[in-house]
């Protein structure tokens, strides 16, 4: 007799029920938590030094914690990213360094000493993922020098090796690193869902604009939903 058809599973999302083909399983789906680092989400870090409202980038922490716990329990792939540069700054473009110092408080920029060590430098305290969302053994960590998680990293190799086709995106900031990752993933054929309450921007209007962009043209980069809709759509095994 023919094998039973696989059970289709969707998350209620905008602008379509995600994933498009209903193939949502722990084996083929990863939660990617982007740049939830001290430099972006804690006092004395990079975002704080730029003078932005830190409560905005800290707002997703609790929703991400709930989502992370549920997806760990259900056996989904978990991937974390950290943005940072080599201690010798050999991978830091001069225009990025110039911009960081132009907008940083007191002229502080990438590589300069701050309260959390050298800003956005690998191995420094400010570069670490915040304790609330710390990776556990077996979870992949991608160290990236740029905004997107694919540029100059082995993320694509990791995903294809593990046969992952669905990406669920969380982290900061919605309009920069998360959106860049989502766009790059979409171009590579991955089916993407951005969690709207598990992401944030340093400007609330930019967050809303980033969500609207996703819904254009029938879901040009994928879809977005709140984490409650995702958790309702995944089944935790007994």
State how far the Cα of 181 lies from the Cα of 215, in Å rounded to an integer: 16
The set of residues, in sequence order, having a beta carbon less than 8 Å from that of 45 and lying 6+ positions away, is 37, 38, 39, 114, 116, 119, 126
Interstrand relation of 113-114 and 166-172 (parallel, antiparallel or unpaired): unpaired
**Selected catalytic residue, list 144, 184, 192, 198:** 144
State residue 12 phi and psi, 5-degree precision.
-70, 115
Catalytic residue, candidates 35, 39, 175, 184: 35
Query: Is 147 annotated in the active site?
Result: no
Using DSSP, state whether 164 is helix, strand or coil.
coil
CB 11 within 8 A of CB 228: no
Pick the catalytic residue from 41, 116, 177, 192. Answer: 177
Tell me if residue 184 is catalytic: no
Q: Catalytic amino acids?
A: 35, 144, 177
């Amino acid at each position: 007799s023919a094998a039973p058809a696989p059970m289709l599973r969707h998350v209620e999302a905008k602008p379509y029920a995600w994933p498009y083909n209903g193939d949502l399983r722990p084996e083929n789906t990863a939660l990617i938590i982007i740049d939830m680092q001290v430099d972006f989400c804690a006092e004395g870090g990079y975002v704080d030094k730029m003078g932005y409202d830190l409560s905005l980038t800290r707002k997703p922490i609790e929703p991400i914690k709930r989502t992370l716990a549920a997806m760990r329990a259900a056996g989904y792939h978990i991937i974390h990213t950290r943005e940072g540069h080599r201690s010798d700054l050999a991978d830091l473009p001069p225009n990025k360094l110039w911009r960081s110092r132009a907008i940083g408080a007191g002229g502080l920029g990438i590589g300069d000493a701050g309260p959390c060590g050298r800003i956005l430098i690998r191995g420094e305290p400010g570069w670490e993922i915040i304790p609330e969302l710390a990776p556990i053994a077996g979870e992949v960590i991608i160290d990236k020098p740029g905004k997107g998680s694919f540029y100059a990293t082995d993320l694509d190799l990791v995903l294809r090796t593990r046969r992952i086709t669905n990406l669920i995106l969380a982290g900061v900031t919605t309009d920069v690193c998360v959106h860049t990752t989502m766009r790059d993933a979409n171009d590579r054929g991955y089916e993407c869902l951005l969690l709207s309450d598990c992401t944030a921007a340093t400007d609330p209007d930019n967050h809303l604009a980033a969500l609207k962009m996703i819904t254009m043209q029938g879901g040009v980069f994928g879809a977005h939903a709140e984490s409650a809709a995702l958790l309702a759509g995944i089944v935790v095994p007994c």
